[in-house]
């Protein structure tokens, strides 16, 4: 695998984590870890991951704008992996 694809995959995971963190901090009254625990007990963790993955779209479009096609391919792969993960969580 190309290093750019691996970097893009890592960017997708990092963007999803950042999006999940921002969602919990901005829209709930809980801390990040408490929010994850509460959403996990209510069976809503997959929805949190999906909401966090919205930032992947901005990362993907930014990489396409700067002609980083291989990294954008890694972001797409990471988003697909996150989508599959939401089915199992």
Q: Any alpha helices (H) in the chain, and if so which ranges?
A: 3-27, 32-41, 45-52, 54-65, 69-88
Q: What is the pLDDT of residues 44-88, one digit of tens each?
A: 999 999 999 999 999 999 999 999 999 999 999 999 999 999 988
Q: Provide the whole-model pTM.
A: 0.90
Q: How far apart are CA 3 and CA 78, in angstroms?
A: 14
Query: Hey, what are 44's tokens?
Result: 């809503």
Tokens of 1: 């695998």
Report the distance separating Cα 23 and Cα 27, nearest Å: 6
> If pLDDT is split at 50, 70 and 90, which confidence band does 89 have?
confident
For 3, the token pair is 């290093």
């Amino acid at each position: 695998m190309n290093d750019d694809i691996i970097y893009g995959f890592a960017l997708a995971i990092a963007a999803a984590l950042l999006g999940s963190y921002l969602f919990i901090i901005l829209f709930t009254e809980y801390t990040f870890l408490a929010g994850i625990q509460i959403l996990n007990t209510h069976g809503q963790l997959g929805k949190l991951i999906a909401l966090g993955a919205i930032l992947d779209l901005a990362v993907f479009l930014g990489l396409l704008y700067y002609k980083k096609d291989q990294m954008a391919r890694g972001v797409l792969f990471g988003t697909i992996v996150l989508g599959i993960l939401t089915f199992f969580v």
